[in-house]
Each structure stands twice: as structure tokens, then as C-alpha cells.
A = this chain, B = another copy of it.
Amino acid sequence: MATKRITSIDVANLAGVSVAAVSRAFTPGASIAPATKKRVLEAASTLGYQPNVIARSLNKRSSQLVGLLMSGWNNFGYVDVLRLLSERLEAHGYEVMLKSVLDREKIGEYVGQMLQYQVAALVVVSEVLPAAVAADCTLRGLPTVLVNRIGRGTGSCAVSVDGTNLGNSIADFLIERRHRRIALLRGRADIDYVDDVMNAIKERTATSGSCEVIADLDGVLGYEAGRRCISELFSRAETPDGVFCSYDHTAIGVMDGARIDLGLSIPEDLSVIGNGDRAPASWGAHELTTVGYPRDEVVEKAVHILLSRLEDPDLEPETALLKTDLVIRASTREKSV
């Protein structure tokens, strides 16, 4: 025996007004007399009424849902991004509809399914929208923000990290500490700010005269891969004295490989730099020098961009590049020895 559900009609009857009045009582800024509003709200609370958001969405052709498309879950410590994003959006009265990218080819479908639910906006973490899908979104006036990606020419907003600036800092750091042969290890070419970092490192070292990039490897992702990779690198004729990895876990794999498998000392024989500043980087056993990832700022910025687009859909697309810098620990050489 299902409990009879309470609709605006019940509230209207109890309060002695029309359903329209009930609707207005729940619509901020609607034209309604304070006394009526009070009466309606009281009736609503005695009945335990809450407006049916589904019916509202149908009518308004928009819900309070924000679609969240996630990919690369483990690579980058996105838990925090996800948690923060959901918390911030909730705080602004939105709900999160989460979807995992299992198959890149199907992103269009995923977005389509979210559109079915009349999502008010779209957040895409660590994945790029195919141009056609992005165009479709802008056409529908759906505010869209890419996190950790730059949607070149798609008209989407984006929040990411200034990779070029960061790459320059890293290069300077390594050069200053008299490194001569640098290896770059990245995961899948997933995150384009990381590409910018790598390019900047290559360019700046190339002009330094004292330091050069001797290896630039793709597809090195995670602890095991890093650990294997460093052995491979040290089997070559020319060995690195500095390694930059696109993920902390890869970097820790490199450190363990160097110490345990190769018997090297860190940082004397090899400096290691990670990226992301995830929890293990700070642990005593690792003390990894790494790049902080401004999770709070990224989320704050993304939410800000979203909310401003929801208010005024005609704003120009905006790309925000945040600054970040090295967190120096014990996995890299001192300046003067």
C-alpha cells in the first residue's frame, strides 16, 4: 500500500489557493504576496510536500542536474576533484549526474544520454569532447567546461594548468642543479598540459647548452611501468641523471627501481620529479619532489565558469590556465654541493 503522494494540488487545497500560487511560493522572485507565500509554505510543511523536480524539468526543459563525464580515474588522483566538484555544485543547488567514459568512441552517446535528462551543464574531466559533440553542446547553449584539457577550437570552456610556465620552472630547476641528461616519462598522451610541460622542458634545456633531454617516452603509466622503465633506461649507453614523470606513482616506481633493482642512490645518482603531489609523495619512504596540482582552485574555477554561463549563456568561451609549482623534497639534488 503505497503512501499517496502529495502534489501541489493538495497543498493548494489546504492553503485555499490555486496550484499556480503554490508554484510561485516555491519560485524565488515570483510575484506573490508575502502572506500567501507564508500560508502556502505552512500548508506544504504540514503535508510534507516538496515540489516534483521531474515535472518542473519537463516544463522548464532544464533540470538542476550537471553532467559529469569522467575518464582516467586512477591516473591523476581525481577522487578529490570529483568530491570537491560534487560538494561545490551541491552547495549551489545542483545535482551531479556521473558517467564513466568506458569507450571513447561512445562519448557522443554518453552526452546524448545526459541530455535526455536535461542536464543544465556539462563537466568533462580529463577527456576531450569530439568536435561534433562539442559543437552540438554549444548549439544547444549547454555550458560546458573541460577540466585538465584545452578544447582547442571547440568553443568549450576549459580549466587546466599552465604547462609551459611549469615546464620552464622544471627545466630551470634541473639546470640550476647541474643536471646534464634528462629523461621524460609520460603516460598516455592524455593530458595536454603535460605535453606543454614536456615541450617546454625540451626547448629550454636545448638552449641551455649544459643540459639535454636524452629520452622522451610515452605510455609509461603507474608504478610498475616506472619501475621497469628505469632499468631499461640504465641499460642504454647514455644514462639520465634526472627524470621527470607525468604521474607521481610512475615517479615512485622509478625511485624504487633505481634503488632496489639498480642499487642507485637518490638523489646522488639520479634526481626524480613527479607530478600531482598525491599523498604518497610526501611519505618518509619517498620524499618525492613533485608538482602540486591545484585541485581546489581547478574545481573552484570550473564551478565559477559554469555558474556564470548558467546565468548568462552568451558569454564567450573562457580558458583558465592556473599556475602551479614544484614542491621540493628529498628526491632531487641540492643546489650547491
Contact = CB atoms under 8 A, between A and B. Distances in A.
Nearest to A67: B95
Interface stretch (A46-54, A165-173, A186-194, A232-240): A46-54
A97 B96 contact: yes
Contacts of A139: 3
A212 B139 CA distance: 69
A53 B102 contact: no
For this chain, the copies found in one complex come to: 2
A97 B100 contact: no
Interface stretch (A10-18, A155-163, A281-289, A301-309): A281-289
A177 interface: no
Nearest to A84: B100
Interface residues of A, number: 59
Interface in A233-265: 249, 252-253, 255-257, 259-260
A255 B259 CA distance: 18
A98 B86 contact: yes
Given A83-B100, A227-B284, A286-B285, A279 B249 contact: yes
A99 interface: yes
A4 to B, nearest CB: 11
Interface stretch (A35-43, A110-118, A291-299, A315-323): A110-118
A227 B279 CA distance: 14
A58 interface: yes
Contact of A83 (B73, B249, B283): B73
Contacts of A2: 140-141
Contact of A112 (B50, B74, B78, B97): B50
A118 B58 CA distance: 13
A223 B283 contact: yes
Interface string A52-66: 111101100101010
Contacts of A51: 116
Interface in A61-114: 61, 63, 65, 68, 70, 73-74, 78-80, 82-83, 86-87, 90, 95-100, 102, 112-114
B95 A90 contact: no
A280 interface: yes
A97 B279 CA distance: 28
Contacts of A87: 100, 102
A249 B54 CA distance: 42
Interface of A: 2-3, 5, 50-55, 57-58, 61, 63, 65, 68, 70, 73-74, 78-80, 82-83, 86-87, 90, 95-100, 102, 112-114, 116-118, 139-141, 223, 227, 249, 252-253, 255-257, 259-260, 279-280, 282-286
